[in-house]
Amino acid sequence: MAILDSKVPKGPLKDKWTTYKDKIDLVNPANKRLIDVIVVGTGLAGGSASATLAELGYNVKAFAYQDSPRRAHSIAAQGGINAAKNYQGDGDSAYRLFYDTVKGGDYRSREANVHRLAEVSANIIDQCVAQGVPFARDYGGLLDNRSFGGVLVSRTFYAKGQTGQQLLLGAYSAMNRQIARGKIEMFNRHEMLDVVIVDGKARGIIARNLVTGEIERHSAHAVVIASGGYGNVYFLSTNAMGSNATAAWKIHKKGAYFANPCYTQIHPTCIPRSGDYQSKLTLMSESLRNDGRIWVPKNMDDVMAIREGRKKPTDLSEDERDYYLERRYPAFGNLVPRDVASRAAKERCDAGYGVNATGEAVYLDFKSAIERYGKEQAKLKGISNPSDQKIYDLGQAIVEAKYGNLFQMYEKIVDENPYKTPMMIYPATHYTMGGIWVDYNLMTTIEGCYAIGEANFSDHGANRLGASALMQGLADGYFVLPYTIGDYLSNDIRTGKIPTDTVEFDEAEKAVKERIEFFINNNGTKSVDYFHKRLGKVMWDKVGMARNEKGLKEAMAEIKAIREEFWKEVKVPGNANEMNPELEKAGRVADFLELGELFAKDALNRTESCGGHFREESVELDGPQKGEALRDDANFAYVAAWEYKGEPADAVLHKEQLEFNDIELKQRSYK
């Protein structure tokens, strides 16, 4: 059994990062221009890393499968980015951000990495303001904050409901500056299909030009994977349809361990699915839970009347509504963490109280917020005895200013006005906390290969708190990797250019071409999406929020059968030497079909309930989750080593004991 070395520095938690930076090896500016770095993925993590490494003087090759880094899925992040600035004076601190993150992840993240994340969070905001990111501001011109689930302070900076897009434009502008200087060579519409390892070190990648179909070799002294998560293994998710696991999966099959693959974030505020014809789901920002109240009818007669169209939700009085989050978790109310809100919504719908035709929806209602803001505005404007309509108009204007684009998006999809009729929401697959195992330096178990952002496993444990994805991506890219990668690259200043005419590149390219030729020449009868949808249904039904031993074993067998049929029956139209989206999808779904089985195996090995997932054998569904007291060994990662022999080998699972320091091992008080 392999021994994992997390390389976490010794000493008190609060001093680790500072002490580490003081003692690592550096590359001087003159030598940085002798070193090449490949960055795969140009979302917030990859974009910020590419820009910063190039700014430092490294030669960067950046790869994006989209037509521009501006199209990275980071733009879909709506609600905000966390940082421990304490602008509200409400008691926030770097330690409290660290504590909330570890606690919110069910004590299953690496504490040293999370404390570092909290430390650098404040720097992220300063960096982005300097880039011109238009964060919301209060009346006095200071940056505004709002609350997100799982915390008791306001630490989330935001740009209306499009924070991810604005942050990505900031990183993209920094990238463009380096592209113009020639320090970043940008490869749009390119997909990494394998990593090349020379003498045990990552020394390049094989990529496909998605426009021409050409297979290309690219070398570097280090490879950085910043390709995001794998939520699309469920087919229906909030991820863009192009989001995939291929880059991370390829390095996994070359020796990079995969950690916690079964930890998926189930987001509680997604627009419910409307039928089997859908290819993706749409997210409503968690920020809406600042002002929206979640409820279902108390009485089953009202549930049926609403489903059958005999009643509208606005017909029900306050006494006829069950604000179940406020009832169960009074300290946090509607701002409980995502995993708690998701499980509670599923429990109510499983009990029969779902309000749409499928029985899979609860209400998110803004009536109280509109009235509250309206009355406040009437007082501010000196309006005495305002009419109900005036109060409504004033209140709607405030809500529209805070969340207008989200309400507009909801109305376009559902064709209902959410100002007047409560939104319908239901949990959906969103972010993945599992990913490539990395040490404190963000290096994988392949020397010279790094994983940053959502592609790695380290920061969020079993559940990510809202607004922490953008924080981790930018922290890794702007402030962590640029330090840690230098410690490794300091040994490469005399290496010289890495040649691509070697046997290692030959073999990697040959394997990539053989797989592509198989897909093009296979005389199957079924589309790629046919298999992807079947995989997604198995994953959601048996490896989703509710899991049990019987279902997980069935899922593993079913996924294996789907995979075997896929390799016999998949049909990919078109040619290899052209733009061919079906060919792209075929390779990605092949990877999902391998990951899915490992995903289920990881879940089977966990007889616990944590994060957004619960084992049905042991969890009480009605009322607050009680569960078992956390064990002393609660903080660990299951790590899988891959030995590729044509189909998934048994996962080799390892426990990594991580330190707890002064955090108490106790149940989350709001769970």
Catalytic residue positions, numbered: 338
Maximum Cα–Cα distance across the chain:
83
Distance separating alpha carbons of residues 670 and 545, to the nearest angstrom: 19
Phi, psi of 197 (to 5 degrees): -115, 125
654 conformational bin, left if phi > 0, alpha if psi -120 to 50, beta if neither:
beta
What is the bridge-based pairing of β-strands 258-259 and 293-297?
A: unpaired
Distance separating alpha carbons of residues 587 and 24, to the nearest angstrom: 40
Give the sign of the dihedral formed by CA 157, CA 158, CA 159, CA 164: positive
Write down how long the chain is: 671
Q: What is the CA radius of gyration of the chain?
A: 25
Quote the DSSP letter at residue 132.
T
Whether 563 contacts 593, CB under 8 Å? yes
Least Cα distance to 95 among 121, 125, 115, 120 occurs for: 115
Whether 224 contacts 38, CB under 8 Å? yes
Distance separating alpha carbons of residues 35 and 223, to the nearest angstrom: 12
The stretches of 502-639 forming alpha helices (DSSP H) are 503-521, 528-543, 549-569, 581-605
Give the sign of the dihedral formed by CA 422, CA 424, CA 427, CA 429: negative
**Cβ atoms within 10 A of the Cβ of 57, count?**
16
Q: Which two structure tokens, joined as six digits, stand for 381?
A: 């404007």
Distance separating alpha carbons of residues 418 and 366, to the nearest angstrom: 8
